[in-house]
Amino acid sequence: MKQILMILGIMLFTASLYALPKDDKKKPEEGTDISAYPEGIAYSLPRTGIKIRVVAEKETRVAGPYAQYAQKYLGIENTSSSNSEKWEIKSIDIETFAEPDPEQVHKAIGASASLLSLTSSGIIAGINSEEQTEEPVPETNNMATENLIPDYPFTDLSMWGMFTKGDSLNKYRTVSKSLEEKAAEAAETIYTLRNSRFRLLTNADDEPLPDGKSFEVMAKELGDMERGQLALFIGKSAEKTYEYCFCFIPGENDVKGEVVFRFSENKGVLPKTDLSGKPVIIDVSKTDELETQQKKQVNSQNPDAGKSGIYYRMPGKAEISLSNGVSTLATTRATIAQFGAVAPLPEEFLDGRHMIQFHPETGAIKSILPIE
């Protein structure tokens, strides 16, 4: 019985050895080419994004309480009796920016990997170079707007009282003036202020004028009072400018009719998901001839091309336009990194005796200099 238990114990022990996890990683033998085990530094080539800056103005108008009497007492026609908001696009600017291209992530191996310098977002910046590149500060769109007109825009409805003394018919109790009576008094006040300002400016009373500063203050005060009373008929308005920034990332092909943002004359600048506004679309057309010639030049018969994993970009060119479906709003010509070709850096420049700098915004070579 003891022998049987011993045999079973040996069998279980042997089975447990086979059940232990095995290390599948093969270690390279001494003298093996390290490139067969490509441990290195990953980096990205940049792609170009398009940044659209929009400046829009919001005008808020509030109707005057006496708007319906503007023509009768002042001769002013077409005054609005309702509040309104109106937006207008004042300017659109098109810029470019760079970010890592998820379609162009590479790994530098060998000695060249130790000489690699990257931006903070992982874009290649140089080889054997200490050049520092600052990343742009992210921008935030605040789509909220404020109320430009206070809740009580007219606090000077009249320079006279709102009530009149009664008579024997109502036992001499005060009576509230009608809206038309208030409007008539406000109109009379406007004419009085105009006459006073005219007499002051022309010295119609033929009296010694006050000193320069006092005269300026008096004229300004009379003008402000007149404008305040006039606003009771024509209303008040306020304007404010808002700035927005929208980003668009094109692929490697032309772009036609992509919506970037929307715009409404009543609501202003809106995100593209808000269907209450009209779409503003972007078209991006690349220069195919440039890309064709670039690809002809980057073709190589060298079997070692790209062995170190260092690549650069030859950026392309594109025509960019923005429109609202009816008219063109802005156009420009820009460099677009992903519209060009990608090529391996010649291995002879990765010998540690050259300093290479790249344009981080496009991935193009900036300079190759020998180190003495």
Q: Which of 48, 170, 164, 39 is nearest to 100 (CA)?
A: 48
Mind listing the pLDDT tens digit for each residue in 287-331? 888 888 888 887 766 666 778 889 999 999 999 999 998 899 999
Whole-angstrom Cα distance, residue 344 to residue 305?
Answer: 6
Alpha helices in 53-144 (DSSP H): 70-74
Does 5 have pLDDT greater than 80? Answer: no
From the DSSP assignment, how many helices (H) and strands (E) are in the chain? 5, 14
Whole-angstrom Cα distance, residue 2 to residue 127?
Answer: 72
Mind listing the pLDDT tens digit for each residue in 101-141? 999 999 998 888 888 999 989 999 999 887 666 677 777 77
